[in-house]
Structure 1
Amino acid sequence: MNTSIYAGSRSMEITALSGLPEVRPGDDIAELIAEAVRSHSSGLRDGDILVVTSKIVSKAEGQVRADESRDATILEETARVVSRRGEVVIAQTHHGFVMAAAGVDASNTERGTVLMLPRDPDASAARIRKGLQDRLGINVGVILSDTFGRPWRIGQMDLAVGIAGVCPALDYKGMHDSYGNPLHVTHIALSDEIAAAGDLVKGKLAGTPIAVVRGLAQYTLNCDGRGATELVRASAEDMFRYGSRDVVFARRTIRSFSSEPVDSRVVERAVIAATAAPAPHHRLPWRFVLLESAQRRCAFLDSIDEVVSSNLCSDGMSEVSLAEHIQRDDVLRNAPYLVVPCMVVEDAHAYRDEQRNAAEREVFVMSMGAGVQNFLVQLAVEGLGSAWVSSTMFCTDTVREVLDLPPGWEPMGTVAIGHPAKKPDEREPLQTDDFILRR
């Protein structure tokens, strides 16, 4: 093993390369850099590393769209949505990078336009590297950089999205530290560190999109190398691909909402999440009625209150208790959005005895509950609060009439949805053994 590249560098010099014009579609980035270098006092040397803002490469390659098509552009660049809250989308691009808005950005581009990442950043870096070899007769490394946010850390930093002629990472596995301890998982993202260092002199507002890093020649290669793809974690090794283990605990019963309106698209995505629940016999028992009209919500709640109050009075509930019960259910009236989950059992199997038919229905009820839970969790993941209230299950005929439900739709409670007015209290810790019987 060649250990010289692991020795580090005692010093390095980082300089912003000035003199580049505004990049236009069709421009040759290598030619623009060569022209700037010829007029630069220090020039370029073998072993230098250029950190190039990917945006100028995107402009040269025509990766520009009109701002009004931003949502469509993000969708085009998205291979997988990782997380979403309001208008903020964290998505995996087709390159494998996990970035805000799939790397679509409206900064440092003409007003009314957005930029996408280069289609193949490694290939773009390799073309710039070869172009400089042809024009200046030198061997340099090229890193295309872009700005990334970081989970669990405030702020953004530049990382490498395209690499040519630079060692992407240093793997210290099998080596020993100064105390003689074996290193097992120390894998340094070298090119990311260089990209971040280059950004310190490029800046975001200075109009100098290229930095020259000198003093790290031991990390340059005589070939293009493996590129930034080496830094993309394989999905099988991604411990956070499906979210942390605490996702389900994001769901809390929220009874107080702010006046901020609810985006119906978030509710629709929660409906899709509901359909990921287990389904009996591959049947799909879930239906959701979205009460988006304030007038319809009031009529719906008035009808429920009338029936529930009548039922409770006939059961002997006192006026004081009845008032307390209605106050608890004010969560439905105070919510800016209501959804009535409904169960459809028309596809249930028909058996010859009632006991098996009853069990069959319970299977559908369990599936319905799983679907509602998925629905509530997805709402919470996207920053919305919710409360499931069971009242519609005690007046199903009235609900069917008021909502004009299709035949066979059985109301399974009502979900109040809105932005939480305050942060919920911490959950009380529960002991696992309280819910387990071991045999």
Structure 2
Amino acid sequence: MSAGPSESFRVWAVPGLPEVRRGDDLAKLIAAAEPSLADGDVVLVTSKIVSKAEGRVVEASDREAAIDAETVRVVARRGTLRIVENRQGLVMAAAGVDASNTPAGTVLLLPEDADASARAVRDGLRDALGVDVGVLVTDTFGRPWRSGLTDVAIGAAGVRVLDDLRGGFDAYGNPLSATVVATADELAAAGDLVKGKAAGLPVAVVRGLAHVVDGDFEDEGARAMVRDARDDMFRLGTSEAVREAVTQRRTVREFTDEPVDPGAVRRAVALAVTAPAPHHTTPWRFVLLESAESRTRLLDAMRDAWIADLRRDGKSEESIAKRVRRGDVLRNAPYLVVPCLVTDGSHTYGDARRDGAEREMFVVAAGAGVQNFLVGLAGERLGSAWVSSTMFCADVVRGVLGLPSDWDPMGAVAVGHAAVAPKERAVRGAEDFIEVR
């Protein structure tokens, strides 16, 4: 293995390979077509011939059904086009199910384990030719933000798939803090330039980059290139991201001590104020209690008011103590928000029925704003609990927080990072809530 990058390399397609069929030994076919392979070469094998050799050709009169079977998660959908995560953990169009270069009525599925396929070809070439090469199994991908397709590595053996340059320095002495090079994908793309998409040349060789080939990389595999879900900022398409944020919203009652990013709350408020409202009004106000002092002062005053109400109701001191303890969800949260309703712009009709309906319209709009806010918090990976308590002591809340007399508190929202994973929500079928006329 050389100590560093080469100043030049050569890449060529391998001619003379026969049509690959189920059960064929790819290593023997490649060795026969390119007997001059040398130590340090990288062999690039198109996934199609790997799939054919491994019997991944299946009868499928309906390609969509085959895509369904290979899909574990829909990332984005536009019309009939689906970007999905497939069984191999790859995010790609149509789960990698391919209806080209295969007989009519059949489709090609990706190799079940492309890393294992690469290892088998590497071992076979070592046995056949006595050479130590790297092997990549490649497939064609589209890419976010960029038009056009390119080949990437979906399986690897004996190749450094990622070159982590973090901790080094550039030519000007600046530290490299985020540079991890996708070496295997760069090799795959280089091979695609000579293989082409329709030339019938499914194998290419790169020579002159022996520094990326080593048995120490045997266990690394191309799976190391799949970004972990926690680090993937673009894990979902637009509509799917909205749907996930809505479905992942849960009432969270236990929080960690991790601080809440005020910017995240403000971004959630920005979503809240896109809710519909009557007469082109803006009936929402969000009071952010970011200091522990402001939260404690409000909650102490609310507790005292609540206790006074319970005593007037004739509740025992034991019963009162239990109720107060159950209300600690707000006190245990590291951040509180008090959403308020204002009815500026509402109409007065002088008719109790119509004036009541006018008020209800504004309350509904306030609820829509709070729902947007809760979904926005979920999108920021923050837990929340919307508690109604401020509505029962509005004057106390206005007095403690110094709010105008026409601001009506609409509960309080506890915000923080969930201390425990939320329970699975019971499945609710839409049909249970629909009446059609």
TM-score by length of 1: 0.56
Report the Cα distance in structure 1 between the residues aligned to 2:191 and 2:432, rounded to whole angstroms: 65
1:296 paired residue number? none
CA contact (8 A) 2:76 2:238 kept: no
Q: Of 147, 155, 165, which aligns to 1:154?
A: 147
**In 2, Cα distance between the equivalents of 1:96 and 1:181?**
35
User: How do residues 222-301 of structure 1 correspond to structure 2 at under 5 angstroms?
Assistant: 222-223=215-216, 224-243=218-237, 276=247
Which residue number in structure 1 is paired with residue 21 of structure 2?
A: 24
Q: Aligned ranges for residues 107-256 of structure 1 at < 5 Å?
A: 107-223=100-216, 224-243=218-237
1:108 is displaced (CA, Å) by 2.1
- How far off is 1:66 after superposition? 2.5
- Counterpart in the other structure of 2:6: 9
Q: Is the 8 A contact 1:125 1:144 kept in 2?
A: yes
Following superposition, the deviation at residue 367 of structure 1 comes to 8.1
Go from structure 1 to structure 2 and tell me whether the alpha carbon gap of 1:232 and 1:119 turns closer, same or farther (over 3 Å shift): same
Q: Match for 1:19: what amino acid?
A: G
Residue 44 of structure 1 pairs with residue 14 of structure 2: no
Question: Partner residue of 1:85?
Answer: 78
Distance 1:57 1:22 in 2: 12
Structure 2 residue runs without a partner (length 5+): 252-358, 376-430
Aligned counterparts of 1:156 and 1:134: Cα–Cα separation in 2: 35
Q: Hey, what does 1:382 align to over in structure 2?
A: none
Amino acid in the other structure paired with 1:147: T
Instruction: Check 1:410–1:156 CA distance in 2 against 1; reply closer, same or farther (3 A cut).
Output: same
Counterpart CA distance in 2 for 1:410 and 1:119 is: 45
State the AA in 1 paired with 2:199.
Answer: A
SS in 1 for 2:63: helix
Cα distance in structure 2, aligned partners of 1:159 and 1:69: 27
Is the CA contact (8 Å cut-off) linking 1:278 and 1:370 kept in structure 2? no
Partner SS, residue 247 of structure 2: coil
Give the stretch that moved more between structures: 236-245 or 188-197: 236-245
CA contact (8 A) 1:66 1:114 kept: yes
Q: Distance in 2 between matches of 1:193 and 1:142?
A: 14
Alignment of 1:263-412 (within 5 A): 276=247
2: distance between equivalents of 1:160 and 1:274? Answer: 32
- The residue identity in structure 1 corresponding to 2:17 is L
Distance, in Å, in 2 between the alignment partners of 1:207 and 1:172 is 37
Deviation at 1:148, TM superposition (A): 0.1
- Write the distance in 2 (CA, Å) between the matches of 1:245 and 1:105: 26
Q: CA deviation at 1:106?
A: 1.3
What is the CA–CA distance in structure 2 between the aligned matches of 1:152 and 1:229, rounded to whole Å?
Answer: 22
Contact kept? 2:77, 2:237, Cα under 8 Å: no
Shift of 1:225: 3.3
* AA at the equivalent of 2:154: V
Cα displacement (A) at 1:8? 2.4
CA distance in 2, matches of 1:17, 1:369: 62
In 2, Cα distance between equivalents of 1:160 and 1:407: 46
The number of aligned residues is 272
5+ residue gaps, structure 1: 249-269, 281-357, 375-405, 415-439
Once residues 198 and 79 of structure 2 are traced to their aligned partners in structure 1, the CA distance between those partners, rounded to angstroms, is 28
1:409 Cα deviation from its structure 2 partner: 5.9
CA drift at 1:246: 12
Q: Distance in 2 between the 1:102 and 1:37 partners?
A: 32
Question: Match of 1:110, SS?
Answer: coil
When normalised by structure 2's length, the TM-score is 0.56
Is residue 94 from structure 1 mapped to residue 65 from structure 2 by the alignment?
no
Shift of 1:369: 11
Deviation of 1:164 after TM superposition, in Å, equals: 0.3
Summarize the Cα distance change of 1:146–1:278 in structure 2 as closer, same or farther, 3 Å threshold.
Answer: closer
Q: Take 2:248 and 2:18, find their aligned partners in 1: how far apart are those partners?
A: 55
SS at match of 2:186: helix
Question: How well do the aligned residues superpose, as a CA RMSD in angstroms?
Answer: 3.6
What SS is found at the alignment partner of 1:276?
A: helix
Identity %: 52
- CA–CA distance in structure 1, aligned partners of residues 165 and 143 of structure 2: 24
